[in-house]
Amino acid sequence: MIRPATLVDLSPIVGLYQHLTREMAVLAPTIIQPLAADNRDYFARYIMEDLADVLINVDEAQNINGFALVVAAKTEAAPEVVAHDFAYLIDLVVAPTARHQGIGSALLGAVDAWSLAHQLEYVQLNVLPQNTDAIQLYEKWGYQAAQITMTRPLATPTDRGNDHTGSAGD
């Protein structure tokens, strides 16, 4: 059963999030590090916020085995940017013991329902390219890449002779 989280649910949410950060740190150690701190205040703010929600999946034994953190957002207010009100799916987590049971899909469906109830135009999320299971789930739901973020380490003084600068078509 999926329902909005309350403050009573913070401990298991934090535990799931800490597990997520450990998994993501293995996939992208230069971007994410395991979170050991208790960040219940972070989630409490979203639970209390009117334009955000932590949607949780509760199993028959009343254990929380997954959650989706979603917020209402707007595109940047700039003249060249097309204005949109959208849902930003910050995190989607399913406990390892509960994966491949449809919980991720159920949470995505709940995010869609939440987004429609808030009259939002679309759902946006970020996913690590190494997280292939998540990408497959999102693609199954019709998500597609809309923007790609690229990074490049800056050269050290000894590497500068191998620096490749310029733009496409140079």
How far, in Å, CA of 55 to CA of 107, rounded? 7
Residues in contact with 5: Cβ distance below 8 Å, sequence separation at least 6, in sequence order:
13, 43, 47, 53, 54, 55, 56, 64, 67
Token representation of residue 121: 């135009």
Domains of the chain: 2-145 (3.40.630.30)
pLDDT for residue 36: 87
How far, in Å, CA of 92 to CA of 66, rounded? 8
Summarize pLDDT for 50-89 with one digit per residue, the tens. Answer: 999 999 999 999 999 999 999 999 998 788 989 999 999 9
Which has the closest alpha carbon to 56: 68, 47, 41? 68
How far, in Å, CA of 96 to CA of 92, rounded? 13
* Residue 85 DSSP one-character state: E
How far, in Å, CA of 93 to CA of 56, rounded? 9
Summarize pLDDT for 82-137 with one digit per residue, the tens. Answer: 999 999 999 999 999 999 999 999 999 999 999 999 999 999 999 999 999 999 99
Model confidence at 161: pLDDT above 60: no
Backbone angles phi, psi at 116, to 5 degrees: -65, -40
pLDDT for residue 19: 96
Contact 55, 4 (CB under 8 A): yes
Which has the closest alpha carbon to 108: 130, 89, 127, 121? 89
pLDDT for residue 8: 97
**What is the rounded radius of gyration, in angstroms, for the C-alpha atoms of the chain?**
19
